[in-house]
Amino acid sequence: MVPAARSGAGRQPGAPVTGLTIDRGQSDPGRWPYTVPAVRHVYDSGLPLTPGATVLIGANGAGKSTLVEAIAAAWARRITAFRQDWLQRSIAEPAAEDSDLHRSLRLACTRGGPTGGLFLRAERLHAQAEQFSGRGRWRDRIDGPLLGRSHGEGFLQVLAGMVAEAGLYVLDEPESALSFDSSLVLLTILQDMLAAGSQIVLATHSPVLAALPGATLLQLDDHGIAPVAYDDCDLVTAWRAFLHRPQDFLRHLG
């Protein structure tokens, strides 16, 4: 069962981070990842983040994961400067395959804003599971060991346990661990988190998760980053066309 939002329910959507910029003294615009149009957009113009939820969509290689990885690492660096018990630090730290964008990315943060948060990549949840097991306040929030659960079940259980802690939550393609029904459960959890005062940045290929009520939808493509309406974005129009007449797509295979 998905828990209802607890302490903090009824707050306005949170905005611990109001925008992104790139320190030009710590970056090289002629080198990857700054040559990716979405990253170059942030380099040239910055990127404001609205309160509540921001959903990043776009084709593979558009820069979604590159951005969310850097946001998570930059947030972890900020939070641990004054909160030594922030368990998620080791989870948000960049992996070997991540870009070095996190070194130059700068977050504009709300003074006195919430200081919780988490970075979850579905495919790395089991590798992270020990971080959540039987430690301090997490013992009461996470019901039982995660390693005995599927990726999807574990993913949902971790996020459900975080509803009470307002902060910045960064999710990279969580649909890879979720069925259709579980994606709907995740939407409910995310709404509870927003109601409790958290901010969410979500990168996804899922038209279900992109439908998160009230979210700002940003499309990443060869032109950079632009807001887009749900019904007009490439993700939704492509899936609708395929589901309406899959044979039109499948006949071109093989």
Chain segment 216-252, per-residue pLDDT in tens: 999 999 999 999 999 999 999 999 999 999 998 888 7
Q: What is the pLDDT of residues 73-132, one digit of tens each?
A: 888 887 765 444 444 544 455 555 567 899 999 999 988 888 888 888 766 655 555 555
Bridge partners (DSSP) listed for residue 127: none
User: For residue 97, what pLDDT is reported?
Assistant: 57
User: What's CA 2's distance to the chain center, in Å?
Assistant: 20
What number of other Cβ atoms are within 10 A of residue 126's Cβ? 14
Determine, yes or no, domain membership for 199. Answer: yes
Task: Spell out the long-range contacts of 222-230 with Cβ–Cβ below 8 A and sequence spacing 24 or more.
Answer: 222/37, 223/37, 224/37, 224/38, 224/40, 224/41, 225/38, 225/41, 225/42, 225/47, 228/57
Low-confidence winner among 10-14, 110-114, 175-179 (lowest mean pLDDT): 10-14
User: For residue 21, what pLDDT is reported?
Assistant: 98
Instruction: Give yes or no for a contact between 199 and 218, defined as CB atoms under 8 angstroms apart.
Output: no
Determine, yes or no, domain membership for 91. Answer: yes
Instruction: Kindly tell me if the per-residue pLDDT of 10 is higher than 70.
Output: no
Domain housing 198 = 17-246
Determine, yes or no, domain membership for 112. Answer: yes
Instruction: Give yes or no for a contact between 94 and 76, defined as CB atoms under 8 angstroms apart.
Output: no
Determine, yes or no, domain membership for 252. Answer: no
Name the pairing type of β-strands 167-172 and 116-121.
parallel
Helix (H, G, I), strand (E, B) or coil at 177: helix
Determine, yes or no, domain membership for 3. Answer: no
Instruction: Kindly tell me if the per-residue pLDDT of 166 is higher than 60.
Output: yes
User: For residue 209, what pLDDT is reported?
Assistant: 97
Does the bond joining 33 to the residue before it have cis omega, within 30 degrees of 0?
Answer: yes
Determine, yes or no, domain membership for 6. Answer: no
Residues contacting residue 187 through CB under 8 Å, at least 6 positions apart? 208, 209, 211, 212, 213
Kindly state the average pLDDT of the residues 199-223: 97
User: For residue 83, what pLDDT is reported?
Assistant: 47
Read off the CATH number of the domain in which 192 is found.
3.40.50.300
Q: What is the pLDDT of residues 34-79, one digit of tens each?
A: 999 999 999 999 999 999 999 999 999 999 999 999 998 888 887 7
Instruction: Kindly tell me if the per-residue pLDDT of 4 is higher than 80.
Output: no
Residue with the larger pLDDT of the pair 122 and 195: 195
What number of other Cβ atoms are within 10 A of residue 10's Cβ? 8
Determine, yes or no, domain membership for 8. Answer: no
In which residue are the tokens 């029904």 written?
181
CA atoms within 13 A on the CB side of 34: 21
Amino acid identity, residue 145? P
User: For residue 119, what pLDDT is reported?
Assistant: 85
Report the run of H or E that residue 64 belongs to, with start and end: helix 64-79
Look at the chain and report how many structural domains it folds into. 1
User: For residue 239, what pLDDT is reported?
Assistant: 95
User: For residue 240, what pLDDT is reported?
Assistant: 95
Spatial CA neighbour of 93 closest among 79, 109, 111, 113: 79
Give the predicted TM-score (pTM) of the model: 0.85
Instruction: Give yes or no for a contact between 64 and 34, defined as CB atoms under 8 angstroms apart.
Output: no
Residue with the larger pLDDT of the pair 186 and 115: 186
Determine, yes or no, domain membership for 125. Answer: yes
